[in-house]
Structure 1
Amino acid sequence: MSEIARQQAQEIWWHGVNAVRGTEAVKRALLSEQVARPDHIIAVGKAACAMAAGAFEVFGGDIPALVVTKYDHAEPLPPSARIIEAAHPVPDENSLIAGHALLAAVRDLPEEAHLLVLVSGGASALAELPEDGLSLAALQTENTRLLSQGLDIHAMNARRKELSQIKGGKLLANFNGALVTTLAISDVEGDALSVIGSGIGDAPEFYRFSFDPFIVASNGIARAAAAEKATGLGLNVLSDKETLYADVFELAEEIGHYLRDAPSGVHIWGGEPTVVLPPDPGQGGRNQALALALAREVSGVVGLTVLVAGTDGTDGPTDAAGGIITGATWREDGDRYLRQADSGRFLEQHGALFTSGPTGTNVMDLVIAIRD
């Protein structure tokens, strides 16, 4: 692997991610939209701490806040913020504690209250309050089933809304105040507020309060920043598309076919692939699976480096963000790892695993391909 190309791919990816970090995205939106100081803040998602930090930088650190995020994603916040860490992508007991806490916080606000809601990807699992009669075990079983079916986020979150007392705008139905301002980092195709976090910050027209929603970061913004960085490195950007919305194997075949004969330059794709899991999956996530499947498709191609990674820094139930491969990465035993959904183990063994750590954002995934 060309070390220069490997470094460039990572610089391009990081520039895209940094452009949509929660802290800066929230600060920009609050200041540009001249949002009034809220009486209470709730932040839910993988980027919840970063987003809350942005609000505190604008309004000061004395506003009461409830922040719900993934384990190991907590960041230092003022004492006025209560932080709850929970599981992702399958909810756990702490997810239910977070769901109850969110409902109590919203219900307790007075009539003239202004509530600031900060939502990012991962909220669907991190905070939950199941419908009456649905146990945590049953909820976990259903979520595991949904994750293994290869469904897109719209289909999964539609089902999650049916099982929840707080999703689909139900949480805000308990708000008796005057104004809800929602800032969302989009991790869904089309940037629909009704889908992000299963619509935890959504508000149907019949609600009594005023509602101001804003999308503050998206895959499109990240891709534009990535393209800007590539151009700044003297590279020609030939592709910039949000089309990663099919099964990882279908996408690997399509992208691999294109890259085998692609001209020199940088190719950028965004979106969120799907993957069907076997009964007992191994180590990895959709980005690691796509990276390894791509390695098979471009095996033998010289002068090609491809980085596939989730912008949140975590891919499925792993600590890795994705993989970085070339035409020399593939080995014949790779098929077995793909069948067993164990791509992460293969990539780790061959020095092709990409780890970034939590990034403070979540705008789906980015693929950065550099053809020398």
Structure 2
Amino acid sequence: MSKDLDDSARVMLLRLFEASIAAADPRQAVLDNLPEKPRGRCVVIGSGKASAVMAAALDRAWPDVALSGIVSTRYGHAVPAGRIAVVQAAHPVPDENSTLAAQLMMDALRGLTADDLVICLMSGGASSLAVMPADGVTLAEKRALNQQLLMSGASITEMNAIRQSLSRIKGGRLAAFAGPAPVVTLVLSDVPGDDPAVVGSGPTICSPHGPDLARASVSRYQLKLPGHIRAIIGSAEAPAPRPQDRHLVIASAAQSLRAAAKEANALGYKTVILSDALEGESREIGRVLATMAMSAATSGLPLSGPAVILSGGETTVSVAGDSAGRGGRNTEMLLSAALRLNSHERIWALAADTDGIDGAGEAAGAIATPSSLDRCRRLGLNPQAYLDGHDSGSLFAALGDQVITGPTLTNVNDFRAFLIAP
């Protein structure tokens, strides 16, 4: 493998990732999907890693509207939003600021009339950034449950159904505080399938099947819950839908993947988008995608090279005991793929989270190359041991192959690209 080929493959993968992020610009997405201005006031609420940027765009777009409100975002993701206050809170496990943000949103919605309008700005990460536990549940108990869910292997849809059942605001309950005022929810989707009721646990969107899914998920993953929390989930009911409300997905993984495919085509590569909603255990998905890339390289299926295989969605990592190291679902998927590829000389891969943070680390993801395993051996590193210890982030950091972007201020889930060189 020549250095020039390695450099050009890395540069191309990063260009595709950058194209996917640019296509999910939350500012433009908000401006392209604003509702009609209200006769009365506009109150803005919202939560997520892109919520502050979305709020800033709305504030600038409507200088002639009596506008106020509150949004919450992750620490380090805040930007000034004019007349809309921004609270920063913890992710993926909530803290006291998460409950403060929820209380401020509830307060902001009181006393509205039918002439007023509520705009809710939702993006990925919102579930932990605005938290108001149901009666009888403490924040400490919700934090402990979040930690357990993150290690359970449950999908984001299943996790959020459980969160909804234990919340005073999630699953459409926050919208009830708006009274007769209509609520328009603009959603930057980070969930497979783009169900707006799942993004951020849907505080303004009713999820009629949420309670049933929550109960089934508690049983499926054998969650260890105190009796009173199990009872609350067992008796949870979804609120009635509000006919005056509406919602719209304004950016998604599908749009970002199409932008990356367009960029790859312009560079002379054939492309296939497998799915924008791949789910499953990270290491299993890694092996499957690597196998598909090897098939493309050797037999031209599903397409002949030079080619790029793209996918999005959200994988999961099941962690037993205290074996979790430093890394996220993207680097775990990528390390598993690298082991399956076994230094294939024509295949490079990138996996990263479009929000710039893979799990709780500082990297968005990483790049695997034909030389990754050889470089591990030279450094005395055992890649299988790092995979088994869920410590993929540490391995790619040691190789110098992390993708570090900082907060991108958008979030349309994971981006994966397997490049088959000529």
What does 1:203-282 correspond to in 2, within 5 Å? 203=206, 206-207=240-241, 210-262=244-296, 263-264=304-305, 265-280=307-322, 281-282=324-325
Whole-Å separation in 1 of the counterparts to 2:156 and 2:267: 34
State the 1:82 CA deviation: 1.1
Aligned to 2:197: 194
State the 1:153 CA deviation: 0.7
In the alignment, structure 1 residue 360 sits paired with structure 2 residue 409: yes
Whole-Å separation in 2 of the counterparts to 1:73 and 1:114: 26
Whole-Å separation in 1 of the counterparts to 2:81 and 2:179: 27
State the 1:248 CA deviation: 0.8
Aligned to 2:97: 94
State the 1:109 CA deviation: 2.9
Instruction: Give deviations 1:219-249, integer Å, cap 9, x for gaps.
Output: 1111111111111222211344225201011
Normalising by structure 1, we get a TM-score of 0.94
Q: Which runs of 5+ in 1 are unaligned?
A: none
Whole-Å separation in 2 of the counterparts to 1:178 and 1:127: 21
User: Across the two proteins, how many residue pairs are aligned to each other?
Assistant: 368
Pick closer, same or farther for the CA change 1:240–1:145 going to 2, 3 Å.
same
State the 1:99 CA deviation: 1.3
State the 1:209 CA deviation: 5.9
State the 1:341 CA deviation: 1.3
Aligned to 2:74: 70
Instruction: Give deviations 1:335-369, integer Å, cap 9, x for gaps.
Output: 11112211111000001111111112111111011
Whole-Å separation in 1 of the counterparts to 2:240 and 2:136: 28
Match of 1:150 among 149, 153, 156: 153
Aligned to 1:141: 144
Instruction: Give deviations 1:168-221, integer Å, cap 9, x for gaps.
Output: 001111211332111001111221121111011214794556112111001111
Aligned to 2:350: 307
Whole-Å separation in 1 of the counterparts to 2:321 and 2:104: 34
Match of 1:116 among 115, 119, 130: 119
Normalising by structure 2, we get a TM-score of 0.83
- 8 Å CA contact 1:223, 1:240 repeated in 2: no
- 8 Å CA contact 2:283, 2:336 repeated in 1: yes
Aligned to 2:234: none
Whole-Å separation in 2 of the counterparts to 1:239 and 1:110: 46
- 8 Å CA contact 1:203, 1:211 repeated in 2: no
Aligned to 1:165: 168
From the CA coordinates, give the structure whose radius of gyration is larger: 2
- Aligned letter for 1:170? R
Match of 2:361 among 295, 299, 318: 318
- Segment drifting more, 288-297 vs 122-131: 288-297
- Aligned letter for 2:266? G
Whole-Å separation in 2 of the counterparts to 1:305 and 1:75: 35
- 8 Å CA contact 1:173, 1:207 repeated in 2: no
Whole-Å separation in 2 of the counterparts to 1:200 and 1:178: 15
Superposed CA RMSD in Å reads: 1.8
DSSP-derived class of the 2:109 partner: helix
- 8 Å CA contact 1:278, 1:341 repeated in 2: no
Q: Which runs of 5+ in 2 are unaligned?
A: 208-238, 297-303
